[in-house]
Amino acid sequence: MAALAEERTRDGPAEAATRTPLWLKGVLPLLLLVVLLLLFLSAGPLGVFRTAFPPVEELTLERISFPEPGRMRIHVVNGGPEPVTISQVMVDDAYWAFTLAGNATLQRLDDTTIEVPYPWVRGEPVTVTLISSSGVTFTHEVPVATESPRADRRYLSTFALLGIYVGVVPVFLGLLWLPFLRGVSRGWTDFFLSLTMGLLVFLGVDALAEAVAMSGRVASAFQGIGLVTLGVVGTPLVIEAVGRLRRPSGGMGGEALRAAVLIALGIGLHNLGEGLAIGSAYAAGELALGSALVIGFLLHNTTEGIGIVAPLARQPVRIAMLVRLGALAGTPTILGAWIGGLSYSPVATVLFLAIGAGAAIQVVLTLARLLARREGGLARPLNAAGLVAGLVIMYVTGLWVAV
Amino acid sequence: MSKGAEVTLSRRDLLKAGAAGAVGIATVGGATAIVRPAVAGAQGPHVVRGGREHIHAMGTMGDVDTSLFDPTTFLEHFDWGTVSILPDGRTLRHYQITALDRPIEVVPGVHFEAWTYNGTVPGPTLRCTEGDRLRIDFTNAGSHPHTIHFHGIHPANMDGVFEIVKPDESFTYEFDAKPAGVQLYHCHAAPLKRHLHKGLYGAFIIDPKDPPLAPARELVMVMNGFDTNFDGKNEVYAVNSVAFHYQRHPIRLEVGEAVRLYLVNMTEFDLINSFHLHGNFFKYWRTGTRPDHYDYTDNVMLCQGERGMMEFSFEHPGLFMFHAHQSEFAELGWMGLFEVTGGVVV
């Protein structure tokens, strides 16, 4: 305290002497940066910046959709440092007519849509190549061409049903374990909490790996890995901070409910990413929605329900609250499937996957804190076994859903 | 334009295109569509639609700037050299060739950083008669060492292989024109593959002296390709460099007109190329060296550096396609049309 006061007195006179307001001190480097940029721009590129390097062109074909037979639509974004002019379109090694929305020259971060009247064949691959004015080519292959979903009732209801099957139903089934959890001893409740931790560690790592893998498909200007970092680190911090702002009253019981809500939220965010993946894979023709896959997701996601109710084993909770928790965790799958199928974008997918991973990390942290206060903590053999069991359950049920 | 069509063609454009002939590809206003008149030779084309009203629209969009190089002019342009008579009475032909680095437009809107002879790819078609004395002043104004290697019979030091001409240096090739036939010339500096696919080649035609060839409409087609992204594969195929040029600008012929076509294959990376003519057959002399030995066919296959001479005339008017009979090459630009007029419409 004394040191702080001393510092303040030392600061005071210095500020008075220069008479510079604090905000100016903060803004000064920025002002100088602006001046420097203006000088650089008005004086033109100098020396080494002017050497005649060949243009670095980079286009990313973010999405190819097939609105109807005989027509395809290419969504392209310039993620490189230089403007790129799209001169021609090749489909399956043949030049093809096209119409391009707006200007054929894309500035950095510009995007456009190209319509191609191409008689694509259902169920067969299609390779699209854009050729720029300097002859550089950008290729994207669709492994299986199939008519893209449209936002009609059929699609929305199909994917709502799918979301209910793979997201909502399993979560609610899992919630039904609550009476069972109530019956077991405290030691076994901790076991199931640890098991939940295991499930979420698995989900988190899985989502993170997906996000990193997908980040390669993001135009480089959008920095896929940067998005992953933002989502993974930012999400748990935001959830924690929000949780601290609204701390429910009721001591230990309130904290358990808070944990349950956070777990449901984390699983919900994870399921949003999962729904996106299902919807976009379906739209991209990379996924046949066989019943085996649906069964796989059912098994896989039922375990998520245990996670939500595990913290609530030792306290009363209203049915309405349970329904809300289930909805929070399960319904985002439907939303994700809709978004993923209708407007797939690598940037959004990477971000959602990373948020899902971050949410899982947050849940794991919450559970770890909860367990740490119990006897023996995570190191207790039964709890350690629970965590490993959670991982194993996810692995085994995952054998049906790995696409 | 009728309702439901996706390509922006005006009705007038379509009529103009359809009037051209029987079944063809019309390229108008930047878009390409197959048009088919209801009755051959009649007006009133229909856009061919699939079951769900789609248009087959193979081809490129727009056109190239032909002010620097026009494949239509190139087709019939021969460099005869500056002619003088030697003391022994023979003809001396004096040619000037300069190697230049220059971007060329090979597909509408796509520029290729080419190495050229006299600024064009292919280089000028050199023309002479068997037995002429040829003198070729070669100046290298490009950025890399080059040579000119002529196919023919000549001394070793005139072969353009070991006498590398560095940038800003010159060399004079001098030899007798033989044997008569369709020859070619190209750079022989290493790496060969790059010097060839960058565009350093051209046709070199030695006319037979005795007996001379019968008069005919003479055309030169050099089959080539361009690897615009330098991945060792061609993105563009053509005759005379510009993809689909003779489809956008059909070569006009008359029914019964005698046509002699000199065909040279300079395609890099691909083992072979081919030439197929629609609605007609032609006589084909491999290398054009043996008048008594020819094929009668509508499709010939050529290895890189292989060339030949063909003669044909059309019996029927209309639009007749010619293209590589490798569909991939055809759809990447090596496709063109003869527009035959006159005669009796059947």
pLDDT digits (tens, 9 = 90+) for A307-324: 888 888 888 888 898 999
Provide the pLDDT for residue B231: 92
Point out the residue among A104, A115, A135 whose CB comes nearest to the CB of B112: A135
Cα–Cα distance, A222 to A164 (Å, whole number): 33
Whether residues B331 and A97 touch (CB distance < 8 A) is answered with: no
Point out the residue among A96, A99, A133 whose CB comes nearest to the CB of B111: A133
ipTM above 0.85, yes or no: no
Compute CA A401 distance to the chain's CA centroid, rounded to the nearest angstrom. Answer: 19
Exposed / middle / buried, residue A105 (Cβ in 10 Å: 0-12, 13-18, 19+)? middle
Q: Which uninterrupted H or E stretch holds B241?
A: none
Compute CA A134 distance to the chain's CA centroid, rounded to the nearest angstrom. Answer: 36
A162 within 8 A of A329, measured Cβ to Cβ: no
Q: Is the pLDDT of residue A399 over 70?
A: yes
User: Of residues A3 and A180, which shows the higher confidence score?
Assistant: A180
Task: List CB contacts (< 8 A) between B54 and chain A.
Answer: 69-71, 117-119
Interface with chain A: mutation pick from B1, B49, B331, highest number of A CBs within 10 Å: B331
A296 within 8 A of A238, measured Cβ to Cβ: no
Whether residues A94 and B333 touch (CB distance < 8 A) is answered with: no
SS3 assignment, position A335? helix
Which positions 59-118 of B are in contact with A (Cβ < 8 Å)? 59-61, 106-112
Contact of B7 with chain A, judged by CB distance below 8 Å, is answered with: yes
User: Of residues A292 and B315, which shows the higher confidence score?
Assistant: B315
The pLDDT confidence band at residue A378, using thresholds 50, 70 and 90, is: confident
Cross-strand bridge partners of residue B82: B94
Average pLDDT over residues A289-304: 69
The residue among A85, A94, A136 whose CA lies nearest residue A112 is: A85
For residue B39, the distance in angstroms to the closest alpha carbon of chain A comes to 26
Point out the residue among B56, B107, B231 whose CB comes nearest to the CB of A87: B107
Point out the residue among A96, A115, A131 whose CB comes nearest to the CB of B110: A131
Point out the residue among B51, B58, B231 whose CB comes nearest to the CB of A95: B58
Contact of B264 with chain A, judged by CB distance below 8 Å, is answered with: no
User: Of residues A373 and A294, which shows the higher confidence score?
Assistant: A373
Whether residues A95 and B226 touch (CB distance < 8 A) is answered with: no
The residue among B142, B112, B132 whose CA lies nearest residue B178 is: B132
User: Of residues A336 and A54, which shows the higher confidence score?
Assistant: A336
Prior bond to B211 cis, omega within 30?
yes
- The residue with tokens 């070793």 is B156
Contact of A103 with chain B, judged by CB distance below 8 Å, is answered with: no
Contact of A105 with chain B, judged by CB distance below 8 Å, is answered with: no
Whether residues A95 and B331 touch (CB distance < 8 A) is answered with: yes
Provide the pLDDT for residue B168: 96
- Two tokens, residue B292: 């008594």
User: Of residues B121 and A285, which shows the higher confidence score?
Assistant: B121
Q: Which uninterrupted H or E stretch holds B195?
A: helix B192-197
Please provide the average confidence, as pLDDT, over all residues in chain A: 83
Please tell me the number of Cα atoms within 13 Å of A397 on its side-chain side.
21
- The residue with tokens 């399921």 is A271
Point out the residue among A89, A99, A134 whose CB comes nearest to the CB of B8: A99
Cα–Cα distance, A156 to A153 (Å, whole number): 5
Q: Is the pLDDT of residue A303 over 80?
A: no
Cα–Cα distance, A357 to A233 (Å, whole number): 9
Whether residues A135 and B228 touch (CB distance < 8 A) is answered with: yes
Provide the pLDDT for residue A287: 61
Exposed / middle / buried, residue A179 (Cβ in 10 Å: 0-12, 13-18, 19+)? exposed
Phi-psi region at A363: left, alpha or beta (left = phi > 0; alpha = psi -120 to 50): alpha
The residue among A248, A273, A269, A245 whose CA lies nearest residue A259 is: A248
* Lowest-confidence pick of A331-335, A359-363, B172-176, B311-315: A359-363
User: Of residues A390 and B345, which shows the higher confidence score?
Assistant: A390
Provide the pLDDT for residue B129: 97
Q: Is the pLDDT of residue A250 over 70?
A: no
Whether residues B57 and A95 touch (CB distance < 8 A) is answered with: no
SS3 assignment, position A91? strand
Q: How many CB atoms within 10 Å of residue A282?
A: 23
pLDDT digits (tens, 9 = 90+) for A125-184: 999 999 999 999 999 998 888 888 777 888 888 888 888 888 888 888 888 888 888 888
Q: Which uninterrupted H or E stretch holds B147?
A: none
The residue among B150, B143, B183 whose CA lies nearest residue B165 is: B143
Q: Which uninterrupted H or E stretch holds B331?
A: helix B327-331
Task: List CB contacts (< 8 A) between A85 and chain B.
Answer: 109
- Give percent of chain A above pLDDT 90: 24
Mean pLDDT by 10 residues, chain B (346 residues): 35 34 35 34 31 57 93 97 96 98 96 96 97 98 97 96 96 97 97 95 96 96 96 96 96 97 97 97 96 95 97 96 96 96 70
Cα–Cα distance, A40 to A33 (Å, whole number): 10
- DSSP label at A345? -
Cα–Cα distance, A61 to B168 (Å, whole number): 44
Average pLDDT over residues A250-263: 72
Task: Assign 3-state DSSP to chain B and report helix, strand, coil percentages, each to 5.
Answer: 10, 45, 50
Name the most confidently modeled range: A233-237, A336-340, A349-353: A233-237
Q: How many CB atoms within 10 Å of residue B252?
A: 13
* Lowest-confidence pick of A263-277, A381-395, B44-58: B44-58
The residue among A154, A161, A201 whose CA lies nearest residue A298 is: A161
Size of interface A-B (CB pairs under 8 A): 97
Question: β-pairing, B217-226 with B259-265?
Answer: parallel
- Two tokens, residue B214: 């019968």
The pLDDT confidence band at residue A285, using thresholds 50, 70 and 90, is: low
Which positions 176-235 of A are in contact with B (Cβ < 8 Å)? none
Nearest chain A residue to B327 by CA distance is A94
- The residue with tokens 């030792």 is A314
Provide the pLDDT for residue B103: 95
Interface with chain B: mutation pick from A88, A114, A139, highest number of B CBs within 10 Å: A88
Task: List CB contacts (< 8 A) between A135 and chain B.
Answer: 106, 110-112, 226, 228-229, 235
- The residue with tokens 């169920």 is A123
Question: β-pairing, B236-239 with B217-226?
Answer: antiparallel
Point out the residue among B52, B61, B106 whose CB comes nearest to the CB of A97: B61
Which positions 46-65 of B are in contact with A (Cβ < 8 Å)? 50-61
Point out the residue among A87, A118, A136 whose CB comes nearest to the CB of B229: A136
Q: Is the pLDDT of residue A246 over 70?
A: no
Provide the pLDDT for residue A339: 86
Provide the pLDDT for residue A262: 82
B340 within 8 A of B279, measured Cβ to Cβ: no
Cα–Cα distance, A367 to A266 (Å, whole number): 12
Report CA torsion sign: B229, B230, B234, B237: positive
SS3 assignment, position B94? strand
The residue among B121, B56, B108 whose CA lies nearest residue B249 is: B108
Task: List CB contacts (< 8 A) between A118 and chain B.
Answer: 54, 57
Point out the residue among A95, A104, A135 whose CB comes nearest to the CB of B60: A95
Task: List CB contacts (< 8 A) between A103 and chain B.
Answer: none
Cα–Cα distance, A75 to A62 (Å, whole number): 6
Task: Assign 3-state DSSP to chain A and report helix, strand, coil percentages, each to 5.
Answer: 65, 15, 25
The residue among A216, A150, A194 whose CA lies nearest residue A349 is: A216
Cross-strand bridge partners of residue B309: B262, B285
A128 within 8 A of A74, measured Cβ to Cβ: yes
Whether residues B7 and A88 touch (CB distance < 8 A) is answered with: no
Q: Is the pLDDT of residue A293 over 90?
A: no
